[in-house]
Amino acid sequence: MLGNTILDNPSAISNVDKKNMLQFCERTAEFLKDATVRTKALQIPIETEVLGRTITYRRPKNIIIIGMGGSAISGDLLKDWLFDKATVPVETCRDFVLPAYADHESLVVAVSYSGDTEETLSAFLQAIKRGCKPISLSSGGHLQKIAQTLKTPHIQIPSNFPAPRSAIAYLFMPLVILMKKLHVVSGVEREITESFSVAERISQENGINSPTMINKAKKIATEVNNTIPVVYGFRQYASAARRLKCQFNENSKVPSKFDFFTELDHNEVVGWEAPTSLTTNFSIIIIRDREEPPQITQRIELTKQIASSKVRKVIEIEAAGKGNLAKILSIIQIGDFASTYLALLRGTDPTPTETIAHVKASIRTKSNYVKETLNKLTSPETSTRLSCE
């Protein structure tokens, strides 16, 4: 196992971080800006024909984001950001099938970095058959082919990222811009602009050349090393906590879990009654906000008192910025850095996810459903057949 000095040694970092995951973390502001430009340029028709049905893209009655893994988290983050803004429900669909209520008044956005995620393609084809308002986002793949075939709106993003999770700026920010374009929200331009400047500052403060002594992300990695990180969020940070948990899984290659206030004080907190011989293997990371509600503050402080004598370390991450968009993204970015630094401390390349690749390869040999359906979609008689189903 490598010592902590690797975090302040760029040449040693490059020997382990073979696909430059850290550099992609540092370029977050650049990616957020480009994702915004790409989505603003997207032409969404007021009305169009899709497989014999008339689709109208007026303000939807509900929104469903389809995705898995690093793509699905963008839907969760959108839901949290829209919590106090939108008057229509938002749901993330992590499945082969859509919820029963999805219909012609539902906006369905399929998000898949590769464009070939089986669950996402399956659910998106269902959305098309049901006459939902379809929009897709990918770097290519079958999802892009579907959009080209049916002439439905598609946002194409770059394909040169080392892993889908490293493209979070391109997977999430387009959803924010879509909400603005479709009049789900308004008056959020300042929040969007602020997110760029905050991301630039987070990169400077937590980047490769910022020493551990003043680098929050490097400190977090050092403090949680050799423990199981437990991430706690609240309200608009519930999905940010989930994202951090997933980044510790995929980047750091360690077990991790997450929960959120105040729900966790009705169940999770009891777990810290376990013997210290067990709980000392954990560390807790709590997401904080200077403007957090007093009810939340009270519960966070009580939970810290209960758990602090049981776990190895209790760490706090404070959101940066004024608007919720910048705050949420700041937590995401610090977590991306911290999980990557933790991988480096463990002497592990943060990019490969061999177990996920194994699972996908094993399943791909057994399932031809999506391939067969896509073949039907592009066949000459498709329009007649699917419109009658």
Instruction: Catalytic residue, from 18, 151, 358, 360: name it.
Output: 360
Told to judge if 266 belongs to the known catalytic residues of this protein, a careful annotator would answer yes
CA 112 – CA 122 distance, rounded (Å)? 12
SS3 call for 379: coil
Find how far residue 62's CA is from the centre of its chain. 20
SS3 call for 226: coil
Instruction: Catalytic residue, from 26, 118, 119, 250: name it.
Output: 250
- Residue 118 identity (one-letter amino acid): E
CA 79 – CA 82 distance, rounded (Å)? 5
Find how far residue 86's CA is from the centre of its chain. 20
Pairing of strands 133-138, 62-66: unpaired
CA 243 – CA 248 distance, rounded (Å)? 9
Cα separation values, 103 from 56, 155, 181, Å: 12, 22, 21
The angle that helices 141-150 and 118-129 make with each other, rounded to 10 degrees, is 20
DSSP per-residue letters across 164-194:
GGGGHHHHHHHHHHHHHHTTSS-S-HHHHHH
CB 135 within 8 A of CB 50: no
Told to judge if 360 belongs to the known catalytic residues of this protein, a careful annotator would answer yes
CB 91 within 8 A of CB 118: no
| Sequence-ordered list of residues with C-beta below 8 angstroms from that of 21, at least 6 positions apart, any chain | 162, 163, 166, 251, 340, 343, 350, 351
CA 215 – CA 204 distance, rounded (Å)? 9
SS3 call for 137: strand
CA 17 – CA 3 distance, rounded (Å)? 15
Instruction: Catalytic residue, from 266, 273, 354, 366: name it.
Output: 266
Tokens of 40: 């603003």
Told to judge if 189 belongs to the known catalytic residues of this protein, a careful annotator would answer no
Q: Show the DSSP H helices in 308-353 as ranges.
A: 324-345
Active site members: 250, 266, 360
